Amino acid sequence: MRQDATAPARDLGVYVQVPFCQAKCTYCNFSTGVFPRKNFRPYVASVCREIGEHASLYRAEGLAAWQQEPPPFAADTVYVGGGTPSLLEPEDLGAILEAVRSAFGGAATEVTLEADPETVTEEKAGAWREAGFNRISLGAQSFADPELAGVGRRHRRADIFAAARHLSAAGLGNISFDLIAGLPGQTADSWSGSLDELLSLVPAHISIYLLEIDEGSRLGREALAGGRRYGAPALPDDDAAAEYYDLACARLLDRGYEHYEISNWALPGFRSRHNRKYWRREPYLGFGAGAHSFDGVERWANTHDPAVYVAAIGERRLALDERGRVSKVQALEEELFLGLRMLDGIDLGEVERRYGVDLSDRVRSLAEEGLVEWTGTTLRLAPARLTVSNEVLVRLLPGEEMPGTSRATV
Ligand code: SF4
């Protein structure tokens, strides 16, 4: 279908993946790694080329929406994540933002850089601001040094405070801090202490994640298979981690934070606009090794291997690990699974109409158990039962093909 050239450009999220880290944290299940610095610049050059030539690369790949006129997208949010993108030289990060501006316009209002505390210096913070970043996502994780050391983090508590100082002095006071609940050795006291220290910095935005235990990390494998090397025996149990999460919910609410997504809190006016696109199924394009994209029709993901990625872009082609047109069933599952992560909930009536389904029996039984709140047509997770949100979401999903739809993956 040819795009209407007069149609207003749709807002787009641009994500750039930088898969380089200084060391591999024991709990990390991302496709990131430790690479020599000499690899950084060729990688950045490939990312800039992928951004600049995205329309022809997508067309060559056969992505449906890009076969004729490129869709009129304008980037309103940019997120450079990883990995540890703050390891890159500021001029390389500037080159990435310049490539985004050339390809998608310069009107992005939220431009985020992920940074690890020990990589932040006064000079770098100033250069990031100069390059166009206006928001920093800082991987604090904990304020207890033994917990940080135990999982192989390079920074310590003092680095978090120093980073916050440098960033604020450079005019980058819009900082989101990440914390992890459930680290080895974490106790109710140490968790409460981390929350206190975090709140003393009055963050604009806070993300709190429960530690994931799976086979994708060394710590996860040890927890599943046994062993002591990575501290698995000192992991808090599920009940303790849930208590830590509940304590965070209460403490942050008390301090005026809006709990707007299962793992995210913000002071009024500081919700993440970029991440909201993922939960609302709005279009975003990802560049770099392992980056995911969704153009409203198809989802695809670049290969995770940086060397394979750089070689492919050098040959003016994409190397994809995954690609699939989103079926109607999948789209409905995403509406529920992603949409309900936001505590404002979803318009269930509108979703049912759009997908031609009736979920009222499932919703009624969840509401009777106090797991969801169903008011008018709005459905939301019950704020007091967020630690069982996965169970609720699984029970809501259709789990079967809807008439007239089929799963289609390439
Ligand atoms: S810094 Fe982040 S991406 Fe890198 S190893 Fe640690 S958790 Fe993984």
DSSP-derived secondary structure for 146-160: HHHHHTT-S--HHHH
Per-residue pLDDT, 6 = 55
Query: Which stretches does DSSP call E strand in 167-255?
Result: 175-181, 205-210
Nearest CA to ligand 1 atom 5: 24
For residues 253 and 259, the answer to whether their CB atoms sit within 8 Å is yes
Q: Are strands 135-141 and 175-181 parallel, antiparallel or unpaired?
A: parallel
CA of 225 to the centre of ligand 1 (A): 22
Residue nearest to atom 8 of ligand 1 (CA): 28
CATH 1.10.10 range(s) for the chain read 328-396
Is the CB of 30 inside a 6 Å radius of any atom of ligand 1?
Answer: yes
Coil, helix or strand at residue 112: strand
State pTM to two decimals.
Answer: 0.94
**Atom of ligand 1 at shortest range from CA of 153:** 6
Question: How far is C-alpha 378 from the chain's CA centre?
Answer: 25
Residue intervals of the chain classified under CATH 3.20.20.70 are 10-279
The two structure tokens encoding residue 265: 């809190």
Pocket flag, ligand 1, residue 148 (CB < 6 Å): no
- For residue 377, the CA-to-ligand 1 centroid distance in Å is 40
Distance CA 28, CA 183 (A): 12
CB of 28 closer than 6 angstroms to any ligand 1 atom: yes
Residue 302 burial (CB < 10 Å; 0-12/13-18/19+)?
buried
- Ligand 1 contact via 21 beta carbon (within 6 Å): yes
Q: What percent of the chain stands above pLDDT 70?
A: 95
| Chain centre to alpha carbon of residue 405 | 29
Low-confidence stretches of the chain (pLDDT beneath 50): 1-5, 401-410
Question: How far, in Å, is the centroid of ligand 1 from the Cα of 266?
Answer: 23
Cα 45 to ligand 1 centre (Å) = 23
Ligand 1 binding pocket includes 83 (Cβ within 6 Å): yes
308 is written with which tokens?
Answer: 């394979």
Span from the CA of 75 to the centroid of ligand 1 (angstroms): 27
- What is residue 72's predicted lDDT score, i.e. its pLDDT? 79
Residue 352, burial from CB neighbour count under 10 angstroms (0-12, 13-18, 19+):
middle
300 CB-near residues (< 8 Å, 6+ apart): 61, 63, 292, 293, 318, 320, 322, 323, 324
* Separation of CA 32 and ligand 1 centre (Å): 7
User: 258-261 and 264-266: which strand pairing?
Assistant: antiparallel
Nearest ligand 1 atom, CA 82: 3
- The Cα angle at residue 276 between residues 331 and 95, in degrees rounded to 5: 110
Span 10-279 CATH architecture: Alpha-Beta Barrel (3.20)
pLDDT for res 407 = 28
From the CB of 25, is ligand 1 less than 6 Å away?
yes
**Using omega within 30 degrees of 0 as the cis cutoff, is the peptide bond preceding 83 cis?**
yes
- DSSP code string of 353-410: HHHT---HHHHHHHHHTTSEEEETTEEEE-GGGGGGHHHHHHHHS--SPPTT------
Query: CA quadruple 15, 17, 23, 25: dihedral positive or negative?
Result: positive
395 lines ligand 1 (CB under 6 A): no
Q: In the CATH scheme, what is the code of domain 328-396?
A: 1.10.10
Q: 329 CB less than 6 Å from ligand 1?
A: no
- The string of DSSP letters for 278-321 reads HHTT--EEEESTT-EEE-SSEEEEE-S-HHHHHHHHHTT---EE
How many Å apart are CA 159 and CA 340, to the nearest integer? 35
Q: How far is the CA of 21 from the centre of ligand 1 (A)?
A: 6
Other Cβ atoms within 10 Å of 239 Cβ, number = 9
Long-range contacts, stretch 349-352, CB < 8 angstroms, 24+ apart:
349/376, 349/377, 350/377
- Taking Cα atoms as reference points, which of 106, 98, 55 lies closest to residue 76? 106
pLDDT tens digits, 269-285:
999 999 999 999 999 99
Predicted pLDDT at 403: 39
For helices 90-104 and 40-52, give the axis angle rounded to 10 degrees. Answer: 10
Q: What is the pLDDT of residue 211?
A: 96
**How do beta strands 320-325 and 258-261 pair?**
unpaired
